[in-house]
A and B are shown apart, each in its own frame.
Chain A
Amino acid sequence: MSLSRSVLWQTALRSQLLQGAWNFDRMQNLGWAFCVAPALKELYPDEGRRALALRRHLEIFNTHPYMAGYVLGAALKVESELADGRGEAETVSAIKARLAPALAAVGDSFYWAALRPATVMLGIAWLWLAPHPWHLWAPAVFLAAYNLVALVLRMNAVEAGWTKGEGVAVHVASMGLPAAAEGVRQMALVLMGALAGSLGRLLNPLSNGKAPLVNHFLFLGSGLVMLLMLRLGVRPVVLLMLCTLGCLMLALSLAV
């Protein structure tokens, strides 16, 4: 039995609320059940069989929210075969358990650890370097850059999962997201370097830009010391407190 295109679209739209009822017991299970509800209604007109299927989909489930569409599509493909009387009920749970962690790892490293912070840095670069009043568009620049990539990939995920079935993992691997994550992370690192180079002169707190060059180096040097401490595992919050204490002691010693 095949699912109609409108049901696949409903599933894709509903997947935006996958984590709406995230809980420690079974994580995204309620959100997952909400996503598959229209498909189950179409596949199982009989309420008894639908209740059995829904119980399968209320099991524990957790993956990256953007990658869930692929798992949804693939699981619905298996579910449709099951509705036709082919295959075993355990296959649905098995495919979810097999795909979810693998795709979560890809999603975490691409979306959370690379694309999001990199586009945030793009927004911050815009805030710092764009002329007044264009700098106020920084959040819009960040949102546009991030969602241009994320939304397009996300909305196509359910259909790709439905088309490829269990082979969706190969399809995701062929998209080259780990390589893209490497590129995005390098882009962000170089953007950081460019920001540091263009703002070092402007961020001198003691002199309004009139101090000797050595002050600029001292200022940027303190940034390097912070970076070193972060590399050694000191938490940013601890450094925040140390900065505050250091400034307070400096102000007291200078008797400002």
Chain B
Amino acid sequence: MLPLGTLFLLSAVAGLLGLDSTGAFQIMVSRPLVVGGVFGCLLGHPGAGLAAGSLVEMLYMAGLPVGSLVPPDGVAAAALASAVAVSLAHASEVRGAPYAAEALGLIASVPAGFLGARAEVVQRTLTNRLSRSADADLDAGRMPKVGGLLALALGLAWLRGFLVSAFCLDLGLPALAVLLDHLPAAGIHALHWCFWLFWLLGMAVATNHFWERRGLKYAAIAALLMALVGARAAQGQFGVLAAAIGLAMVSGWWRWTRARRGEMA
């Protein structure tokens, strides 16, 4: 279980990052990839936090906040996933399955995301009253303090993020630690394998999101080229990264210019 101070700090940070998802700025610091990195840094293992955050990110990639739709809460999900990945990493390593904690974190992040979305619906319903109070002020012949009402709504949004994260971390972490300790060996190894399958699932979700018949052949060519280059290169080289990004940018540029020409015509 996390010390009370750490739990408070993590929940407060989650609440702040969560403001970015709808209420303020939307510069994308609320995306699971960033939340995972921040939580990893705060808990002393940025790599594990990032790995967990990027898994959650790919799983949630297709959820778009269009209209009044509230997608699963990526901040709560990534907060729990990265906290589990960092805090329980040692326990899963001891049992010979180093990635079991990260897979368990991702599985636990699903209910956390749904809980966060439900809480957001409640928060938005409560905000209805602030909108009505502005009308009531005008009806009474007073100028409403719109800035104050907005600050109140943002405070409510922060509180929602804080409470959801505190609930998930305070209850989820100890429960998952007990689960990891008492899982039979087969269960631990299954989780370890799941980690790799979850990467594949994430890639499948991302590919499905970007799916377009015309672009598939270029993606296949890129896969073949990179398989040839990758077979000769060691893991983690800027050259491989630059080749991947270069291929993608050339292809995107080509498509953009063709689409632009079509628009002009």
Contact = CB atoms under 8 A, between A and B. Distances in A.
A120 B227 contact: no
Interface string B180-198: 0000011101111111111
Interface in B124-178: 124-125, 127-128, 130-132, 134-135, 138, 141, 143-144, 146-147, 149-150, 152-154, 157
Contacts of B24: 16-17, 19-20
Given A138-B37, A180-B256, A230-B208, A190 B262 contact: no
Interface SS majority for chain A: helix
B29 interface: yes
Nearest to B256: A183
B252 A183 contact: yes
Nearest to B113: A237
Interface residues of B, number: 119
B207 A25 contact: no
A190 to B, nearest CB: 4
A51 interface: yes
Contact of A190 (B65, B154, B247): B247
Interface residues of A, number: 107
For chain B, what secondary structure do more than half of its interface residues adopt (helix, strand, loop), or is it mixed?
helix
Given A16-B24, A179-B263, A194 B201 contact: no
Contacts of B57: 120, 124
B64 A108 contact: yes
A202 B235 contact: yes
Contact of B208 (A20, A113, A231): A231
Contact of B23 (A20, A24, A143): A20
A145 to B, nearest CB: 10
Interface in B222-257: 222-227, 229-231, 235-238, 240-241, 243-245, 247-249, 251-253, 255-257
Contacts of A192: 203, 206-207, 210, 219
A223 B230 contact: no
Name which of B46, B68, B131, B211 has the most chain A CB atoms within 10 A of its CB.
B131
A206 B196 CA distance: 10
A176 B192 CA distance: 46
Given A22-B23, A178-B263, A189-B218, A184 B252 contact: yes
B259 A182 contact: yes
B206 A132 contact: no
B27 interface: yes
A236 B205 contact: yes
B66 interface: yes
Q: Which of A138, A197, A223 has the most CB of B within 10 A?
A: A197
B107 interface: yes
15 contacts: A17-B24, A21-B152, A30-B146, A62-B67, A117-B206, A122-B245, A125-B244, A176-B260, A190-B222, A197-B222, A201-B227, A231-B208, A243-B197, A248-B187, A251-B189
Q: 4 closest A-B pairs (Cβ-Cβ)?
A: A183-B256, A187-B252, A193-B219, A197-B226
